[in-house]
């Protein structure tokens, strides 16, 4: 059996994989592991728990609260809030542990749990492994006054809104913005923040009923947002995902502005304001070549990491950098948050537009997004791809043919016998041709069949 914790907590079909019993057990184990590591030494431990509006979050949240309280932890139950809000509140109230019930951009039947340590930081792998190892162990339950107490924490939303507004470089007065909350965790706080920041807000995808999260709305379904922006003659549109740790944008013409473009705009903004630490942007190897070229023109260095927000965050912390993220719209502004925060990202982007008087389309034009083609090659020996002479010779030949006009990347899937062939080129036709040719070589040389 593989590791229970993935790159973003434990996730799966709610009540089948992620059950009440599992979340209760994980919560107890997390409290015990952190206690044994000395995290609770000398004081009564406190936790902050939140969830997105999935129906299953109601009972999974209750199980998580119960598990923590049974282990002697006092719990602030913050209810429905974005993942980055729970990370922020864990730090803001001085809590020892945070827990969030969400499956982010996954469909409604899924759910998940992730934990934060003191300060709102994701748990290290070793701590997650220790929690998994202690799951189901016999343990001595606290009794009497030693059991944890549970307090509703509705003021958590207010504190989070105030925090976001405190980061605002420039107010949004006069701006007309469409927000798509994915019928998720940002449905209430997202519009509230932008209204208080001065914007005129048109809201879509903000009627969560427990079943409709991410269903046709949000950062993975931008059609409604594009239509609303053009119909409402808005300056821009912003789409969050189910737990609001991601943000994608749409300009006033209805054109999508992806995570790479958002990062490019924000990097230039932070550099001009003198707050781009190390004059560096941290991004993954999947970021578009057009962004790398734009940053080079702007005199901004790009540190590239493996794919995954955890690797971006590791790179940022190691170099004390302030901005990083992924093409998906998962952007980390480390001065203001310990994790990706879609509302914060959108707020900072809109602030840049408001401060300059230039449209989002004008700002996004700082980079030219090169056509990118991704081909999945299944049923192959993915572990042989890096050292296979014929495959690497084909990759070298493709790179030589593309020169400065494109890029080739072969990646192993983390979970399947699959190799991903990614090609960028000056035209979509050339990118498709090179990607298809390389995929044939990988299939022929590495097939398991």
Are 391 and 284 members of one domain? no
Asked whether the beta carbons of 86 and 99 are under 8 A apart, the reply is: yes
Asked whether the beta carbons of 57 and 18 are under 8 A apart, the reply is: no
Q: Which of 364, 395, 411 is the last residue of a domain?
A: 364
User: What residues pair up with 423 in beta bridges, in sequence order?
Assistant: 373, 408
pLDDT of residue 2: 65
d(CA 165, CA 380) in angstroms, rounded, equals 50
Using DSSP bridges, classify how beta strands 247-251 and 407-412 pair: parallel, antiparallel or unpaired: unpaired
Asked whether the beta carbons of 388 and 445 are under 8 A apart, the reply is: yes
Are 176 and 321 members of one domain? yes
Count of domains observed in the chain: 3
The average pLDDT across 379-392 equals 92
Using DSSP bridges, classify how beta strands 247-251 and 256-257 pair: parallel, antiparallel or unpaired: antiparallel
Find out whether 436 is annotated in a ligand binding site: no
User: Domain for residue 285, yes or no?
Assistant: yes
User: Domain for residue 161, yes or no?
Assistant: no
User: Domain for residue 392, yes or no?
Assistant: yes
pLDDT of residue 6: 80
Are 96 and 203 members of one domain? no
Are 390 and 247 members of one domain? no
Among 59-68, 347-356, 408-417, which is the least confidently predicted range? 408-417
Tens of pLDDT, residues 154-177 = 999 999 999 999 999 999 999 999
195, 245, 280, 320 from 315: Cα distances, Å? 34, 19, 11, 8
Q: Which of 299, 332, 364 is the last residue of a domain?
A: 364
User: Domain for residue 50, yes or no?
Assistant: yes
Q: Which residue has the tokens 């998720």?
A: 184
Q: Which of 128-142, 340-354, 380-394 has the highest mean pLDDT?
A: 340-354
Are 438 and 385 members of one domain? yes
Are 270 and 172 members of one domain? yes
Find out whether 413 is annotated in a ligand binding site: no
152, 241, 257, 345, 364 from 352: Cα distances, Å? 36, 22, 14, 11, 11
User: Domain for residue 1, yes or no?
Assistant: no
The average pLDDT across 220-226 equals 97
Are 121 and 68 members of one domain? yes
Are 68 and 116 members of one domain? yes
Are 288 and 324 members of one domain? yes
pLDDT of residue 181: 98
Find out whether 243 is annotated in a ligand binding site: yes
Find out whether 104 is annotated in a ligand binding site: yes
Tell me the pTM.
0.93
User: Domain for residue 32, yes or no?
Assistant: yes
How many Å is the Cα radius of gyration of the chain?
23
Share of the chain above pLDDT 90, in %: 90
Domain that holds residue 190: 167-364
d(CA 281, CA 171) in angstroms, rounded, equals 25
Task: Pull the structure tokens for residue 264.
Answer: 């490019």
Are 203 and 342 members of one domain? yes
d(CA 120, CA 332) in angstroms, rounded, equals 13
Tens of pLDDT, residues 244-268 = 999 999 999 999 999 999 999 999 9
Q: Which residues are catalytic?
A: 104
Are 381 and 425 members of one domain? yes
User: Domain for residue 301, yes or no?
Assistant: yes
Degrees (nearest 5) of the Cα angle 283, 216, 422?
35
Looking at every residue in the chain, the average pLDDT score rounds to 95
Q: Which of 134, 155, 176 is the last residue of a domain?
A: 155
């Amino acid at each position: 059996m593989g590791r229970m914790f993935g790159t973003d907590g434990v996730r799966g079909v709610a009540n089948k994989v992620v059950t009440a019993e599992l979340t209760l057990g994980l919560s107890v184990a997390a409290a015990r592991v952190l206690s044994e590591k000395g995290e609770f030494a000398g004081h009564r431990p406190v936790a902050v728990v939140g969830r997105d509006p999935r129906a299953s979050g109601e009972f999974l949240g209750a199980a998580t609260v119960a598990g923590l309280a049974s282990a002697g932890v006092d719990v602030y139950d913050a209810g429905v809030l974005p993942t980055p809000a729970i990370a922020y509140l864990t730090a803001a109230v001085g809590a020892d542990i945070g827990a969030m019930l969400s499956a982010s951009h996954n469909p409604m039947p899924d759910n998940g749990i992730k934990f934060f340590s003191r300060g709102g930081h994701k748990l290290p792998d070793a701590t997650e492994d220790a929690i998994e190892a202690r799951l189901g162990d016999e343990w001595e339950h606290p009794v009497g006054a030693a059991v944890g107490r549970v307090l509703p924490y509705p003021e958590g939303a207010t504190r989070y809104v105030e925090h976001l507004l405190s980061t605002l470089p420039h107010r949004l007065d006069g701006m007309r913005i469409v927000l798509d909350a994915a019928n998720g965790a940002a449905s209430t706080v997202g519009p509230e923040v932008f209204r208080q920041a001065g914007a005129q807000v048109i809201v879509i995808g903000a009627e969560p009923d427990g079943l409709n999260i991410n269903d046709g709305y949000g950062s993975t379904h931008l059609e409604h947002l594009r239509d609303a922006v053009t119909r409402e003659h808005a300056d821009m549109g912003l789409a969050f995902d189910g737990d609001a740790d991601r943000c994608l944008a749409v300009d006033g013409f209805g054109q999508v502005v992806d995570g790479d473009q958002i990062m490019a705009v924000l990097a230039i903004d932070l550099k001009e304001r003198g707050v781009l630490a190390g004059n560096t942007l941290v991004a993954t190897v999947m970021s578009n070549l057009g962004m790398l070229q734009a940053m080079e023109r702007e005199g901004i260095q790009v540190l590239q990491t493996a794919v995954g927000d955890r690797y971006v965050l590791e790179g940022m912390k190691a170099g004390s950098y302030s901005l990083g993220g992924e093409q998906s719209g998962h952007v980390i502004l480390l001065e203001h948050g310990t994790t990706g925060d879609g509302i914060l990202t959108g707020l900072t982007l809109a602030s840049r537009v408001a401060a300059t008087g230039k449209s989002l389309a004008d700002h996004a034009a700082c980079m030219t997004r090169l056509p990118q083609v991704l081909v999945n090659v299944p049923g192959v020996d993915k572990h042989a791809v890096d050292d296979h002479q014929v495959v690497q010779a084909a990759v070298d030949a493709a790179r030589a043919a593309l020169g400065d006009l494109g890029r080739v990347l072969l990646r192993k899937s983390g979970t399947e016998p699959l190799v991903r062939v990614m090609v960028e080129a000056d035209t979509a036709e050339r990118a498709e041709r090179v990607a298809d040719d390389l995929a044939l070589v990988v299939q022929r040389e590495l097939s398991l069949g």
